[in-house]
Chains A and B, each alone.
Chain A
Amino acid sequence: MFDLFKIAIRNLLRYKRRTLLTASLVTIGVVSVLVFISVSGSFKNMMIGQITDSFLGHVQIHKKGYVASIDSLPLTQNLGPNAFAKIEKAINETPGIEAYSKRIKFGGMFSNFVETTNVRLNGVYPEDEVKTVPLFLSRVKEGEKSIRTGEILVPELLAKGMKVKVGDTVVVIATNKDGSVNGKQFQVGGILESATGPGGRDGYIHIDDAAEILRMDTMEISEVAIRLRDFDELSSVFDRLKDKLSNELNKQGAPAFEVHTWEKLSPFYNIARMIDVMTFFVKLMLIAIVLISIMNVMVMAVYERIREIGTIAAIGTLPGKIVAMFLIEGFSLGFFGAVVGDILGVAVISVLNVANLTFSFGRQKGLLLSPSINLQDILVISIIVITISVIASLQPAYKASRMNPIDALRHV
């Protein structure tokens, strides 16, 4: 085998310029794919992190039918104490959950005593909320990074439009599920940066204040947001939670609860899927580049060495060894291109990291792009390139092995 490799490498070095050009093509393809995967992957992961860690959570539980009418934030679809007790039991029995946060979500009117506008509000237990969505407080641009009773965190667009600032007094008016209207004064505790996705422009108050405005006799909640210990276990934890809660039926005998991952709740999931599809097509393009360039060079190699093939066949080289000789040439080209591509790809990614590139997405500005590539991706791309190189060499190698030695020896 070593001798076959030696011959293959020497044959590649025989046409240095052609070998270098072909290997360069493979290298450029590998670098492009690695950089694309790292940049798009880092963008995707960062956006998912922003969405799940700053307001959405990884999984949410609602009363059945709530999500279908989520735009109107229906108070009639809230979960009572009994329902929440069942959810809490399921959460406690499900391994892999790090934290959860109960929320009352409602729509109301926001007044600065001069103007009035509508507002969507979340009533939360601050400690639970921060444990469930740890980036939440980082969205507080001005004011104290906390939610106290009697204070409101106002979304920045609303604050700008209503010309309110930290320390101002405002009034929130809301209608409860019985149709009764109530209002409460708040002090603006902070201005909240917008985030991408549903709920990214909501205001926040303490859950006790929400219950007071909505005149709740007993605590009712709209949703439970859940944070997992390991995001990679999303589907398994989701399945376990769903299994446990699917046995809980309402009075009509239908499931009482609905469980959703962030994927079903945020439109960014479709963008993430598109990024995955684009990555797949970029890989396909790499395969096409490697296939065409290696096949082209191997066809040329066979054509140029017909007499040589005739000679080695005549002196008794078995067809299998002739096939192996050309496959090893293709393999070596692909291997060389992939290894150099991997090294250059990692170097380019490192340079991008040092360059501290930022980008904007929706209302979010200055998001830092920190592309990274894991060993698994590098290995997968390398294996694809090397495998395609060998596949591309198959036809020329087979042709060489099937050559009639007499015709090959006569070839001029």
Chain B
Amino acid sequence: MSLVTANNLSKAYAKGELKVEALKDLNFEIEPASFVSFIGPSGSGKTTLLNLIGCLDKPTSGILMVDDTDVSGLNTRTAAAFRGKKIGFIFQDFNLVPVLTVYENVGYPLVLVQNIPSSERKQRILALLDAVGMAEQKDKYPDQISGGQKQRVAVARALVTNPKLVLADEPTANLDHKTAYMVIDIMKKMKNELGTTFIFSTHDQKIVGEAEIIYTLEDGELAGREV
């Protein structure tokens, strides 16, 4: 059974009197525990698609099912709750909370989103920090660690709630070659260990090369699928 299913999925924006069709009649299915990449030039609709799958935006038409839920009908509150339970996010700019330590950043979704008891929380956070190689840096603040380390923390934060799906928008764009590979390796390891589905939007050939399925977007349309 598919984790993500899109049927005739479209998204249009109004820019003044101009109507911009960001996504046009997309149809695809993404299976659980897969490593999927959406590629395409700037403006092709990659980020818009990730926003729709991540329940941050609503489609104009079509059906989008995520883990058997029609996410197009969720309101602000239920969408937030759905994201908190089912989806993890990794951002291009890492987006760690600067006033929280590495440990606290990873624990944030457990504390303020899922209200997990502290004993269980600690175990999960430390296990993930260990898995991403950041256990020794757990008491540092984001401004005391490097970009690659920040992204590893962000990966841990995305995975700490055991989400079925992790969405990563250009996760390696701000990382050097070596660090980017390290982060990709960690994500693959997590996918294999936890059975998490990773969906990327990227230009980065390093990620593209590691993806199991590659969808190509051009002008909001699916132009290809490679396995």
Contacts and interface: CB of A to CB of B under 8 A. Distances in A.
Interface of A: 3-4, 7, 10-11, 13-14, 307-308, 310-319, 321, 405-406, 409
B114 to A, nearest CB: 8
Given A319-B80, A405-B56, A406-B56, A14 B111 contact: no
Contact of B57 (A7, A307, A313, A406): A406
B14 interface: no
Interface residues of B, number: 31
B100 A10 contact: yes
A314 B89 contact: yes
B91 A312 contact: no
Contact of A311 (B77, B82, B95): B95
B173 interface: no
Contacts of B220: none
A315 B157 contact: yes
Contacts of B76: 319
Interface of B: 51, 54, 56-57, 76-77, 80-85, 87-89, 91, 93, 95, 97-100, 108-109, 111-114, 157-158, 161
A77 B167 CA distance: 96
Where chain A touches its partner, the secondary structure class is: helix
B99 A315 contact: no
A4 B93 CA distance: 24
Given A11-B99, A316-B80, A317-B80, 8 more contacts: A307-B95, A312-B108, A314-B54, A315-B88, A316-B84, A316-B161, A318-B77, A406-B51
Given A406-B56, A409-B91, A318 B80 contact: yes
B142 to A, nearest CB: 11
Contacts of A14: 98-99
Contacts of B82: 316
Contacts, number: 69
A316 B109 contact: yes
A315 B111 contact: no
A406 B111 CA distance: 23
Contacts of A317: 80, 84, 112-113
Nearest to A311: B95
A319 B77 contact: yes
B77 A312 contact: no
17 contacts: A3-B111, A3-B112, A14-B98, A308-B98, A311-B97, A313-B80, A315-B109, A316-B81, A316-B84, A316-B114, A316-B161, A317-B112, A318-B77, A318-B113, A319-B76, A319-B77, A409-B95
Given A315-B109, A318-B81, A7 B100 contact: yes
A406 B161 CA distance: 22
Contacts of A13: 99
Contacts of B54: 314
Contacts of B87: 316
A311 B142 CA distance: 15
B48 to A, nearest CB: 9
B95 A316 contact: no
Contacts of A3: 111-112
Given A316-B80, A316-B113, A321-B112, A311 B91 contact: yes
Shortest 8 CB-CB distances between A and B: which pairs? A316-B84, A10-B99, A311-B95, A316-B83, A316-B113, A3-B111, A405-B56, A406-B56
A308 to B, nearest CB: 6
Nearest to A316: B84
A7 B99 contact: yes
A7 B108 CA distance: 10
Nearest to B158: A315
A335 to B, nearest CB: 19
